[in-house]
Structure 1
């Protein structure tokens, strides 16, 4: 699926997103090292929603927009709310994977009136992150900055192989997401991203999750070695949310299991009655 991106300057930042469909506003948020294309196979399966796939500043096609800016997960939540305000979206269902799930949690806790529902899949939460391989990249980010593109591609290929249970999707993901790094600073871009990661961003909001009292659903790959199953179980408990276990699924569930992810999102959307279809 080819994504046509919209662009708007918000608070001096050029922000990008893909939009399609009509209905309840649904904002989907990617993680690292991906972009909006993470959701490319999910989007055609979503029903009854105005889907807005937001690109975090500092990532994918917005890598250069993140230069000399705070691109931490907590700050991304601020950027998200500012972008929603610019688009006159008062409330929306948030859907997040990996870092995007952390952004969604933080935005929901800080601005509960802006989040009408929450979907999380293999998302960062609590103290589940950064994972060891990312910690290693952060510790050696001085060298990572100067990696030739061929070496960077090998690192990303390894990450995708470990994070996908579908080998063909792992190969497709590499070809989909790597060019953004290749064309926008390579290792320097990745070094900026990992340098901005701070587990305190999610631990700070963790005690507030159980008080959100919003419709939520969780879908989790049971074989994910990056974000372990126990964190999906904890999120389901704290959010009083149904938990869909994707047996044998690994980390990049929107790419490997788009049918399951879309089904869970559709169930969340369908849970809104006629009186609250605007979320």
Structure 2
């Protein structure tokens, strides 16, 4: 798996890449990074896999400074990055906020979406979740807090979102390092402040009209994005919901195999 970076429209962008064939773009959520997909990419047999990192997240936290990093704007950044790589069409895979990004991108550019996989994604009115709303409310003061204040909340969120304790520990260390490097309190306040439910509500009516091959995979015990939203996505996208019984929120880390299989079904 290769780590790549380039400047796109004056924005430093980072991604992980592996494989060849049909482009498959993976988009992470909050509070993670491109490494969210580290266990999925090696399991995909068919496709050029590109795990794109949203500006303002992960190692790309500095790229979000003084920029709009809302979910809707991230869809624009994604489009510019694909143009930069001369990728006309791609299968889109999104988790959490990344699911919102790929929905918006597909709704705005239906001719560029070759397929879509959603796993425990935001959508409709399912977000921001209460813990993120709390960060939004305290954001002006939070920017001045020491990073150590944020660490217990970060750990609690990731542990609640994993059903595999070992992977949860791995995930905490992997994703926290970016916040520790770039300022956790300030970065989380900036990320949370950019989130608005109107971004996904704006494309709700277009989801049933997408008419593209889709898969919806859901950790059925997710306390952040409830499985009922997965069922709604499946209905709107004309597919069936694949439930991961006992699975929680961070499915790409705890349950990479069914996601990789879904990608192979769309690229094979």
Tell me whether 255-264 or 23-32 shows the greater mean CA deviation. Answer: 255-264
Shift of 1:151: 2.1
Q: Which residue of 1 aligns with 2:249?
A: 251
Shift of 1:252: 0.2
Map Cα deviations across residues 121-141 of structure 1 (whole Å, 9 max, x no partner). 000000000001110111111
Candidates 254, 264, 267, aligned match of 2:265? 267
Map Cα deviations across residues 185-236 of structure 1 (whole Å, 9 max, x no partner). 2210110000000000000001100000000000000000100001000000
Candidates 213, 217, 220, aligned match of 2:211? 213
For the pair 1:92 / 2:90, whether they are aligned, the reply is: yes
Q: Is the 8 A contact 1:28 1:94 kept in 2?
A: yes
Candidates 62, 83, 103, aligned match of 1:64? 62
Tell me whether 4-13 or 49-58 shows the greater mean CA deviation. Answer: 4-13
Map Cα deviations across residues 150-177 of structure 1 (whole Å, 9 max, x no partner). 2222111000111001111111110000
Q: Which residue of 2 aligns with 1:165?
A: 163
Q: Which residue of 1 aligns with 2:200?
A: 202
Map Cα deviations across residues 14-39 of structure 1 (whole Å, 9 max, x no partner). 11111110011000000000001100
The alignment's TM-score, normalised by the length of structure 1, stands at 0.94
Shift of 1:267: 1.9
Q: Which residue of 2 aligns with 1:120?
A: 118
Partner Cα separation in structure 1 for residue 167 and residue 174 of structure 2? 10
Task: Give the gaps of 5 or more residues in structure 1.
Answer: 271-279
Q: Is the 8 A contact 1:216 1:242 kept in 2?
A: no
Map Cα deviations across residues 2-60 of structure 1 (whole Å, 9 max, x no partner). x5421111111011111110011000000000001100011110011000110000000
Tell me whether 66-75 or 137-146 shows the greater mean CA deviation. Answer: 137-146
Q: For 1:1-279, list aligned pairs within 5 A.
A: 4-270=2-268
Q: Is the 8 A contact 1:36 1:54 kept in 2?
A: yes
Q: Is the 8 A contact 1:73 1:99 kept in 2?
A: yes
SS of alignment partner, residue 183 of structure 1: helix
Partner Cα separation in structure 2 for residue 151 and residue 259 of structure 1? 35
Partner Cα separation in structure 1 for residue 182 and residue 3 of structure 2? 17
Partner Cα separation in structure 2 for residue 38 and residue 208 of structure 1? 28
Number of residue pairs matched by the alignment: 268
Q: Which residue of 2 aligns with 1:273?
A: none
Cα RMSD between the aligned structures?
0.9
Q: Is the 8 A contact 1:30 1:36 kept in 2?
A: yes
Partner Cα separation in structure 1 for residue 200 and residue 114 of structure 2? 20
Q: Is the 8 A contact 2:27 2:93 kept in 1?
A: yes
Partner Cα separation in structure 2 for residue 90 and residue 264 of structure 1? 21
Tell me whether 117-126 or 236-245 shows the greater mean CA deviation. Answer: 236-245
Shift of 1:100: 0.2
